[in-house]
């Protein structure tokens, strides 16, 4: 008989990824998982109690959220489990359907989340107004506080926020002082804990507060209500059950849980990304992971699972490196549930109430209120909170979304029209901002009728859209007003002007955004004025200056304040005076970046004969310490064309162009640049312009202030038809590349 040989190794070696994790990340993930576990235990128990669910349901959700969502989700550092944001929903469903049907709703919500993730709609959930989401959480916080105040005072919470509020005086009258003291001690510890020394703060405050109060309560035998568990805690694991009726309400419950759990998880994932710069979650995968966790949690009798920012931020701050931390935290909760869950029966309900009250208060964040006010959405925030508290979560959110959408619609269709008039000036100004459509015509008409006949009027259209109806009304009014002897100038200086030519304002010449057509008819018609008003010659300049003061100056002002005391340009930039060359545009630079000098042909005259360029170079290189000296030529240069044609005469232009004769001689003598430019198909004028750049660089290199410095000389060439900027590289101008900027 032959020798038996194993078909494979008895023990497969660990994978390289696992070995790498053990070597690099295990110690960080292990310690952070223990910290999150200590935070999760009291929170899970307290949320279960607030949801009118079995206490074990909170622990089951923590286990499933950690292991399943942690393994499958798209946000590796996010920790999932039962969340305070769903307590109101779950409590309402338990009261309406019972616990078994609520578990079925959780499982079906998870299935729907999986479907949404498979359809890749994760990012779409972020389209929900943050103000509505923040107000929803704040409304949940108010509802939690109103309910748990009764528990803290020794009573029982009602089924609605209004009932809790109306019966609060009776609960206060029947106060259990011991229970109130227990809850207040927990609240005080949670509030004061962040102010303690750092070594003390390393231990989670909820764990310390609950454990300490539980020990004191047990030793002193306080007469307070305790957490109740079944004789067999694992009996909480049960199969979900479908309802006998109320299918519409059942479907609404599934949809509500799906939406809230998904939005809360995705917002939490985005918040985790902000805690770890460079980290980006896969939101579609996160929906799949959350859906899988909810399906399993519902089937096992657990609470709904969501990503929880409290535990997730704790995980990140504790130093977690990978998703193993979330998974390990779920395993620790599982061990606690199996071996030590009996300890939970010693926890006073008032202590959990104190914990939940602090959680509820923290859901009402002043920063969210300030943000809503700053964005003009305070009314949306208030309406949503009132709706959630007074009605229910779903109706409150829907009302908030409706108010938010109405506000957006109002901003989209409504133009802001104001009339400005200085009594000491003859000009009336009508400023129209926003969207000027037929819906805004009545408002525009009311303002225009306030202008007296025969007055000079300037209409400034700072609009992003102008429809035909509004245009016709404005044009008709203009004709009627001019028939009374008045003058009307319409200046379209808003975003809507960008649609002609497709260029941003700062790249676009005046002709692209002034005197442009709307619906085929020009709105801006140059008109000569006789009474000292701006005429057609100055109008482009004046209109451009107004646009700068309106939109450019406010944006540039903070940067200009920094430059007010001194300048430190990166380059001395010598280029042609040609109006088609805009140095800051072709180099995407701003104020303070370029020390610019311009003349016809970008020439460098002899220092003894003309000091203009020499003085600028001296100042830029020695005084301002600019590290780069640039000469930029361009195609179709008029100066080079005149030089090539041998412009006769003794006029100033001809006398100036003599400084370009060395360039002309070098081109005629076969300068290497001329040969390569000719081979590349450039015209003779462009060949001369390229040679001229090289010759002027040589002249600059001989200046004493350049010789004695470390300034780098760079040659550029701008091709006007293509808009391409080329750099001198040896004997050729080549397309500007990133590596060229850092070479040499």
- Domain 415-553 in CATH: superfamily? STAS domain (3.30.750.24)
All CATH 3.40.1050.10 domain ranges of the chain, comma separated, are 567-742
Determine the CATH number of domain 567-742: 3.40.1050.10
- Cα separation, 327 vs 322, in Å, equals 10
- Strands 80-81 and 306-307 turn out to be antiparallel
Q: Angle CA(360)–CA(36)–CA(215) in degrees, nearest 5? A: 75
Largest CA distance in the chain: 121
CA dist., res. 742 & res. 724, Å (int): 19
The radius of gyration of the chain from alpha carbons, rounded to an integer in Å, stands at 37
Pull the structure tokens for residue 234: 């694992």
What count of other Cβ atoms lies within 10 Å of the Cβ of residue 495?
15
Question: Which residues, including other chains, have CB under 8 Å from residue 516's CB and lie 6 or more apart?
Answer: 492, 497, 500, 522, 523, 524
pLDDT value of position 493: 63
- CB-based contacts of 650, cutoff 8 Å, min separation 6: none
With contact defined as beta carbons under 8 Å apart, do 396 and 136 qualify? yes
Distance from chain centroid for Cα 675: 52
Q: What is the pLDDT of residue 726?
A: 93
Q: Say what the pTM is.
A: 0.57
Residues in the chain: 744
Q: What is the pLDDT, as a whole number, of residue 728? A: 92
Low-confidence ranges of the chain (pLDDT < 70): 1-14, 125-126, 230-237, 277-278, 413, 425, 493-537, 547, 550-551, 555, 647-648, 737-744
The H or E element that residue 237 is part of is none
Domain span(s) for CATH 3.30.750.24 in the chain: 415-553
Q: Which residue has the tokens 């430019």?
A: 677
Contact 207, 214 (CB under 8 A): no
Distance from the Cα of residue 82 to its chain's centroid: 28
DSSP one-letter string for 589-603: --TTTEEEEEETTS-
- Give SS3 for 41: helix
To the nearest 10 degrees (0 to 180), the angle between helices 55-64 and 324-339 is 150
Dist CA 403 CA 239 (whole Å)? 40
């Amino acid at each position: 008989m032959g020798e038996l040989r194993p078909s494979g190794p008895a023990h497969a070696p660990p994978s390289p990824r696992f070995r790498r994790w053990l070597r690099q990340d295990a110690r960080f993930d292990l310690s952070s998982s223990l910290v999150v576990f200590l935070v999760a235990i009291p929170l899970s128990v307290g949320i279960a109690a607030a949801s009118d669910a079995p206490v074990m349901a909170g622990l089951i959700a923590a286990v499933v959220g950690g292991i399943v969502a942690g393994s499958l989700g798209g946000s590796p550092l996010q920790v999932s489990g039962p969340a305070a944001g769903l307590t109101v929903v779950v409590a309402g469903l338990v009261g309406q359907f019972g616990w078994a049907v609520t578990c079925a709703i959780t499982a079906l919500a998870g299935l729907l989340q999986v479907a949404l993730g498979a359809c890749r709609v994760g990012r779409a959930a972020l389209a929900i107004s943050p103000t509505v989401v923040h107000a929803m959480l704040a409304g949940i916080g108010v509802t939690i506080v109103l309910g748990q105040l009764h528990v803290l005072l020794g009573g029982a919470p009602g089924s609605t926020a209004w009932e809790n509020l109306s019966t609060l005086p009776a609960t206060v009258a029947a106060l259990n002082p011991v229970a109130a003291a227990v809850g207040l001690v927990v609240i005080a510890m949670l509030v004061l804990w962040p102010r303690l020394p750092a070594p003390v703060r390393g231990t989670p405050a909820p764990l310390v507060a609950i454990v300490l109060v539980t020990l004191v309560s047990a030793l002193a035998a306080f007469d307070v209500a305790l957490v109740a568990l079944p004789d067999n805690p694992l009996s909480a694991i049960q199969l979900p059950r479908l309802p006998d009726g109320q299918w519409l309400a059942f479907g609404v419950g599934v949809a509500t849980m799906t939406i809230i759990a998904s939005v809360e998880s995705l917002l939490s994932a985005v918040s985790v990304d902000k805690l770890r710069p460079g980290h980006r979650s896969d939101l579609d995968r996160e929906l799949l992971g959350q859906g899988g966790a909810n399906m399993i949690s519902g089937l096992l009798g657990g609470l709904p699972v969501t990503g929880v920012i409290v535990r997730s931020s704790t995980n990140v701050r504790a130093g977690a490196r990978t998703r193993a931390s979330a998974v390990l935290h779920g395993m620790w909760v599982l061990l606690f549930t199996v071996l030590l869950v009996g300890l939970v029966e010693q926890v006073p309900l008032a202590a959990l109430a104190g914990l939940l009250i602090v959680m509820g208060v923290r859901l009402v964040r002043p920063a969210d209120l300030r943000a809503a006010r700053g964005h003009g959405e305070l009314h949306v925030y208030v309406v949503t909170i009132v709706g959630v508290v007074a009605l229910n979560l779903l109706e409150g959110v829907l009302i908030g979304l409706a108010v938010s959408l109405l506000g957006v619609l109002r901003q989209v269709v409504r133009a802001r029209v104001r009339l400005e008039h200085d009594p000491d000036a003859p000009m009336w100004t009508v400023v129209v901002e926003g969207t000027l459509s037929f819906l805004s015509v009545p408002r525009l008409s009311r303002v225009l009728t306030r202008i007296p006949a025969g007055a000079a009027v300037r209409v400034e259209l700072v609009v992003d859209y102008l429809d035909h109806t509004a245009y016709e009304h404005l044009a008709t009014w203009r004709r009627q007003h001019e028939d009374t002897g008045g003058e009307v100038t319409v200046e379209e200086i808003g975003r809507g002007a960008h649609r002609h030519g497709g260029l941003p304002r700062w790249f676009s010449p005046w002709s692209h955004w002034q005197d442009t057509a709307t619906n085929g008819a020009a709105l801006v018609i140059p008109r000569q004025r006789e009474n000292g008003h701006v005429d057609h010659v100055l109008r482009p300049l004046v209109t451009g200056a107004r646009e700068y003061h309106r939109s450019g100056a406010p944006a540039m002002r903070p940067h200009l304040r920094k430059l007010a005391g001194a300048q430190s340009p990166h380059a001395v930039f010598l280029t042609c005076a040609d109006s088609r060359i805009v140095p800051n545009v072709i180099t995407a630079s701003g104020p303070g970046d370029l020390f610019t000098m311009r003349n016809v042909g970008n020439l460098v005259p002899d220092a003894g004969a003309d000091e203009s360029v020499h003085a600028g170079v001296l100042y830029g290189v020695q005084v301002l310490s600019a590290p780069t000296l640039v000469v930029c030529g361009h195609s179709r240069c008029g100066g080079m064309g005149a030089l090539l044609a041998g412009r006769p005469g003794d006029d100033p232009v001809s006398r100036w162009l003599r400084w370009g004769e060395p360039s002309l001689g070098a081109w005629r003598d076969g300068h290497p640049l001329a040969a390569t430019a000719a081979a590349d198909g450039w015209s003779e004028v462009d060949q001369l312009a390229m040679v001229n750049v090289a010759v002027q660089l040589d002249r600059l290199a001989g200046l004493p202030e350049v010789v004695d410095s470390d300034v780098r000389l760079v040659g550029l060439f701008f091709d006007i038809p293509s808009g391409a900027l080329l750099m001198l590289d040896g004997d050729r101008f080549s397309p500007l590349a990133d590596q060229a900027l850092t070479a040499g």
